[in-house]
């Protein structure tokens, strides 16, 4: 860069120093990423590419460097926050993180930043001062980049993407279509690399957030005019009513002590009074995006659309006079999360407490307890709350704190001769042990509220784990254990006194072959709500509950689970046996 005006040497140093400090500030998150990661990806996406792009920006505005400084102002303000986030999670932020921030209230944000809040505020103020100083000094000293290197850099920056596309096309094998696909992949790879770095990746993250948020709100708007016409029953003796739906994640029933597992994975719930295990529930889908709508809406169990033409049970409860809240430890948006987050918009109070950048980062469901307690304390009327747990989602070792590392060695313990399968099972069981603790904590909060309270828990789907005959793990596999899920009901003494017939009914139905699709109508009955079209034959809290064929959607198509044939290795669903009927009448909802 050249300074056209020729003041003294000391004066010429001021704008150069300010610009250098500004660039260093903008690069701070990238340097934090490299220092915590040390990977080649971090070096390329976090240093090399952002440095080239920053230099290209200064080159493009070489005659007006001060404008470049002002353009970098929002990124300079964000740089300390991004660096703080990377130092904590060892990964750049994402559109999910931005969504979590916008869904976080002031008290939760203060708790997240902790003692770093004021230093970060001071850093943001210092960043503002630095940007304004760099812009002012560049303007009054007429700082320009007039060297021929400027033009050379711009040419190189412009031709690099084109060269990458041409090179990929020329070196790819196959016909023209295959070569075009290879070029597209290369271009997307470059775009993904830019998206990881700062500050230019922040633009992508904000754009993704705006797009996803718009899609969620557009879908929500389609159902804005829908009304269930829900009404309340009696007042439960005049006490406050608090009801909770807890949605589990990737939890398989046969690894729960409550359902006969030989390990003590439910030591706390096993000691809690008024817990009613629902022993024979299955989900009809093995992926959250299709499984959760079955829990919160009246979507038919064989419908393959991600959304449904009705709102969720949250809307029905709100119509009936309940204050409503959705508190989630899941990601607020993304390909597999946005359709579920749409239902959160129906609640009056919304909190997404998971600030991790990806599912590989630690996320603990105890983070739901304080927002739950605060919501109860800060509201005064009857209350319906949805708690969405992260549960046992991969990676299992990232779902529980060190104190719950009871079954060892775990999958992350590599320095052992124990097989991968056994270590994976240990990690998974630790995640179930932690879910047991979290649910016991939730019940404790409800019990301490001295209200007419009840909780209904069901996992969205199960999980396949390695065995001596099967090396497969995860969900979406289509095994028996993807569909068999744990569920339970808990009630306060005041609830039992107000609704003895409902408690008796759910206890009578607890061992019946049930579906997660029973949850919507069951919640309506549990809260003594009704509306035109409410079908008590789906409700576990009604003596009128009746069995429906339990259709599940596996890799071989729609199958009646109660007549299914399973293979002997991984217990994958192969189809329907002689006693089953895959063509039985579909459940009507």
Task: Identify the helix (H) or strand (E) that includes residue 449.
Answer: none
257, 198: one domain = no
199, 345: one domain = no
Q: Is residue 233 part of a domain?
A: no
Pairing status of strand 349-352 against strand 323-328: parallel
Q: Is residue 560 part of a domain?
A: no
Does residue 22 register a pLDDT over 60? Answer: yes
- Nearest alpha-carbon partner for 390 in 368, 405, 406: 368
280, 394: one domain = yes
**Domain boundary residue, one of 173, 203, 233:** 203
What's residue 587's pLDDT? Answer: 37
Bridge partner residues of 383 (DSSP): 242, 323
Torsion over CA of 80, 82, 84 and 89, rounded to 10 degrees? -170
Q: Which residues contact 385 (CB under 8 A, 6 or more apart)?
A: 242, 243, 244, 245, 324, 325, 326, 327, 372, 375
Residue 557 or 539, more confident: 539
180 exposure class (CB count in 10 Å sphere: 0-12, 13-18, 19+): middle
- Nearest alpha-carbon partner for 342 in 328, 358, 361, 321: 328
What's residue 62's pLDDT? Answer: 86
What's residue 583's pLDDT? Answer: 38
245, 197: one domain = no
Q: What is the CATH number of the domain that holds 415?
A: 3.40.720.10
Does residue 578 register a pLDDT over 60? Answer: no
- Nearest alpha-carbon partner for 236 in 489, 447, 526: 526
Q: Is residue 232 part of a domain?
A: no
Q: What count of Cα atoms within 13 Å lies in the side-chain half-sphere of residue 116?
A: 14
What's residue 93's pLDDT? Answer: 83
What's residue 360's pLDDT? Answer: 77
Q: What count of Cα atoms within 13 Å lies in the side-chain half-sphere of residue 13?
A: 3
Q: How far apart are alpha carbons 468 and 476 in whole angstroms?
A: 20
Q: Are 374 and 107 in contact (CB under 8 A)?
A: yes
Q: pLDDT-derived band of residue 588, with 50, 70 and 90 as boundaries?
A: very low
Does residue 61 register a pLDDT over 60? Answer: yes
- Nearest alpha-carbon partner for 216 in 352, 81, 105: 352
Q: What is the total residue count of the chain?
A: 589
441, 529: one domain = yes
The owner of tokens 């939730």 is: 442
Q: Which residues contact 363 (CB under 8 A, 6 or more apart)?
A: 329, 354, 356, 390, 398, 399
Does residue 49 register a pLDDT over 60? Answer: yes
Does residue 12 register a pLDDT over 80? Answer: no
Q: Is residue 304 part of a domain?
A: yes
Q: Which residues contact 266 (CB under 8 A, 6 or more apart)?
A: 256, 257, 258, 432, 433, 436
Residue 557 or 254, more confident: 254
Rounded alpha-carbon distances, angstroms, from residue 112 to 109, 388, 403: 5, 19, 21
- Nearest alpha-carbon partner for 328 in 301, 288, 290: 288
What's residue 252's pLDDT? Answer: 96
What's residue 113's pLDDT? Answer: 64
- Count of domains observed in the chain: 2
Q: Is residue 236 part of a domain?
A: no
CA 378-241-345 angle, to 5 degrees, is 60
Rounded alpha-carbon distances, angstroms, from residue 491 to 244, 276, 452, 523: 10, 9, 8, 13
Across the range 309-335, mean pLDDT stands at 89
pTM above 0.85, yes or no: no
What's residue 170's pLDDT? Answer: 84
265, 142: one domain = no
Q: Is residue 311 part of a domain?
A: yes
What's residue 576's pLDDT? Answer: 76
Across the range 479-500, mean pLDDT stands at 96
Q: Is residue 409 part of a domain?
A: yes
Q: pLDDT-derived band of residue 102, with 50, 70 and 90 as boundaries?
A: low
What's residue 92's pLDDT? Answer: 87
What's residue 338's pLDDT? Answer: 61
Sign of the alpha-carbon dihedral angle for 248, 249, 253, 254: negative
Bridge partner residues of 474 (DSSP): 464
27, 80: one domain = yes
Percentage of the chain modeled with pLDDT above 70 = 90
Rounded alpha-carbon distances, angstroms, from residue 260 to 206, 257, 266, 277: 47, 5, 10, 11
423, 508: one domain = yes
Domain membership of residue 97 as a residue range: 2-203
Tokens of 475: 């969900």
Q: What count of Cα atoms within 13 Å lies in the side-chain half-sphere of residue 125?
A: 6
Across the range 401-428, mean pLDDT stands at 93
196, 254: one domain = no
193, 253: one domain = no
What's residue 117's pLDDT? Answer: 77
Residue 392 or 6, more confident: 392
What's residue 308's pLDDT? Answer: 81
**pLDDT tens by residue, 119-150:** 888 999 999 999 999 999 999 988 888 888 88
What's residue 114's pLDDT? Answer: 64
Whether a cis peptide bond, with omega within 30° of 0, leads into 395 is: yes
Does residue 226 register a pLDDT over 50? Answer: yes
What's residue 589's pLDDT? Answer: 36
First vs last Cα of the chain: how many Å apart? Answer: 71
What's residue 182's pLDDT? Answer: 83
218 exposure class (CB count in 10 Å sphere: 0-12, 13-18, 19+): exposed
What's residue 88's pLDDT? Answer: 74
Q: pLDDT-derived band of residue 465, with 50, 70 and 90 as boundaries?
A: very high
What's residue 10's pLDDT? Answer: 56
**pLDDT tens by residue, 155-211:** 888 888 888 778 888 888 888 888 888 888 888 888 888 888 999 999 988 888 787
Does residue 324 register a pLDDT over 90? Answer: yes
190, 260: one domain = no
- Nearest alpha-carbon partner for 102 in 205, 191, 227: 205
81 exposure class (CB count in 10 Å sphere: 0-12, 13-18, 19+): middle
What's residue 581's pLDDT? Answer: 45
Does residue 237 register a pLDDT over 90? Answer: no
What's residue 299's pLDDT? Answer: 92
Q: Where are the alpha helices (DSSP H) in 197-228?
A: 200-222
Q: pLDDT-derived band of residue 105, with 50, 70 and 90 as boundaries?
A: low
163, 298: one domain = no
Rounded alpha-carbon distances, angstroms, from residue 570 to 173, 281, 473, 567: 38, 20, 10, 6
Q: Are 50 and 198 in contact (CB under 8 A)?
A: yes
């Amino acid at each position: 860069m050249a300074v056209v005006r020729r003041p003294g040497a000391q004066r010429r140093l001021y704008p150069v120093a300010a610009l250098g400090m500004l660039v260093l500030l903008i690069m701070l998150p990238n340097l934090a990423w490299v220092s915590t990661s040390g990977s080649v990806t971090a070096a390329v996406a976090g240093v090399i590419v952002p440095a080239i792009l920053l230099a290209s920006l200064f080159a493009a505005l070489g005659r007006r460097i001060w404008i470049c400084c002002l353009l970098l102002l929002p990124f300079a303000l964000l740089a300390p926050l991004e660096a703080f986030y990377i130092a904590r999670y060892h990964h750049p932020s994402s559109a999910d993180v931005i969504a979590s921030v916008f869904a976080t209230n002031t008290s939760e944000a203060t708790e997240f930043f902790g003692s770093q809040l004021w230093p970060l505020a001071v850093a943001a103020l210092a960043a503002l001062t630095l940007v304004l100083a760099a812009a002012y000094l560049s303007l009054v000293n007429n700082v320009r980049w007039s060297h021929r290197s400027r033009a050379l850099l711009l040419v190189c920056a412009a031709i690099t993407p084109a060269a990458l596309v041409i090179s990929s096309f020329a070196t790819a094998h196959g016909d023209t279509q295959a070569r075009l696909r290879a070029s597209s992949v290369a271009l997307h790879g470059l775009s993904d690399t830019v998206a990881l770095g700062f500050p230019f990746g922040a633009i992508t993250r904000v754009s993704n957030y705006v797009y996803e948020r718009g899609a969620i709100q557009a879908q929500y708007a389609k159902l804005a005019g829908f009304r269930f016409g829900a009404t309340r029953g009696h007042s439960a003796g005049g006490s406050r009513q608090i009801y909770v739906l807890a949605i589990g994640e990737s939890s398989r029933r046969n690894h729960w002590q409550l359902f006969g597992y030989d390990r003590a994975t439910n030591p706390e719930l096993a000691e809690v009074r008024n817990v009613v295990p629902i022993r024979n529930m299955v989900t009809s889908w093995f992926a959250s995006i299709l499984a959760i709508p079955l829990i919160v809406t009246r979507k038919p169990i064989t419908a393959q659309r991600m959304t449904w033409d009705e709102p969720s049970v949250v809307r029905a409860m709100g119509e009936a006079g309940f204050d409503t809240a959705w508190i989630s430890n899941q990601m607020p948006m993304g390909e597999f999360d946005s359709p579920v987050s749409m239902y959160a918009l129906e609640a009056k109070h919304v909190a997404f407490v998971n600030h991790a950048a990806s599912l590989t980062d630690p996320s603990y469901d105890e983070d739901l307890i304080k927002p739950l307690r605060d919501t109860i304390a800060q509201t005064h009327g009857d209350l319906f709350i949805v708690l969405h747990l992260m549960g046992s989602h991969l990676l299992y070792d990232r779902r529980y704190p060190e104190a719950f590392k009871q079954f060892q060695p775990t999958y992350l313990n590599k320095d052992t001769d124990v097989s991968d399968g056994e270590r994976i099972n240990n990690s998974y069981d630790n995640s179930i042990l932690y879910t047991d603790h979290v649910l016991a904590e939730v019940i404790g909060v409800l019990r301490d509220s001295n209200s007419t309270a009840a909780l209904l828990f069901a996992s969205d789907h199960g999980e396949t784990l390695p065995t001596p005959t099967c090396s497969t793990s995860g969900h979406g596999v289509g095994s028996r254990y993807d569909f068999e899920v744990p569920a339970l009901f808990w009630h306060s003494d005041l609830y039992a006194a107000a609704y003895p017939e409902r408690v008796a009914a759910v206890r009578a139905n607890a061992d019946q072959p049930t579906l997660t699709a029973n949850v919507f109508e069951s919640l309506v009955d549990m809260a003594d709500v009704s509306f035109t079209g409410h079908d008590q034959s789906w409700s576990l809290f009604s003596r009128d509950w009746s069995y429906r064929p339990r259709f599940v959607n596996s890799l071989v198509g729609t199958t009646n689970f109660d007549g299914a044939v399973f293979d002997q290795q991984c217990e994958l669903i192969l189809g329907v046996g002689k006693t089953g009927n895959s063509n039985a009448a579909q459940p009507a909802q």
